[in-house]
């Protein structure tokens, strides 16, 4: 019969650790009014949820502000934003 401590001592697990090479996304806020769809066109490599998160944080920080919405025929309205000028 084997000792439980001996089994734990002999057991080893190897894992590969991959180091991510992700670059931080810097959003360039356009002049005038823009929507999230406009940001997606300007930053095609960005994941859409990342852009939405950056918009949310910029609204909280006061970097951009809500500029209204465009009502479409079908679906949800498109929210518009604009950069705050200091």
Per-residue confidence (pLDDT) for residue 19, from 0 to 100: 72
The model carries a pTM of: 0.69
CATH number of the domain within which 70 lies:
1.10.10.10
Place of tokens 């518009």: 80
Percent of the chain predicted with pLDDT > 90? 49
Q: What are the tens digits of pLDDT across the range 38-79?
A: 999 999 988 899 999 999 999 999 999 999 999 988 889 999
Whether 8 maps to a domain, the answer reads no
The reply to whether 22 falls in a domain is no
In-domain check, residue 69: yes
CA 51 – CA 42 distance, rounded (Å): 11
What is the domain extent for residue 53?
27-86
3: in domain: no
- Residue 70 within any structural domain of the chain: yes
Count: domains in the chain: 1
Q: What is the pLDDT of residue 2?
A: 58
């Amino acid at each position: 019969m084997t000792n439980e401590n001996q089994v734990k001592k002999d057991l080893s697990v190897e894992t590969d650790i991959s180091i991510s090479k992700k670059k931080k996304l810097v959003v360039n806020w356009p002049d005038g009014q823009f929507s999230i769809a406009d940001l997606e066109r300007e930053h095609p490599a960005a994941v859409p949820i990342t852009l939405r998160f950056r918009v949310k944080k910029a609204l909280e920080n006061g970097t951009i502000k809500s500029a209204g919405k465009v009502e479409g025929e079908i679906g949800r309205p498109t929210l518009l934003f604009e950069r705050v000028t200091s």
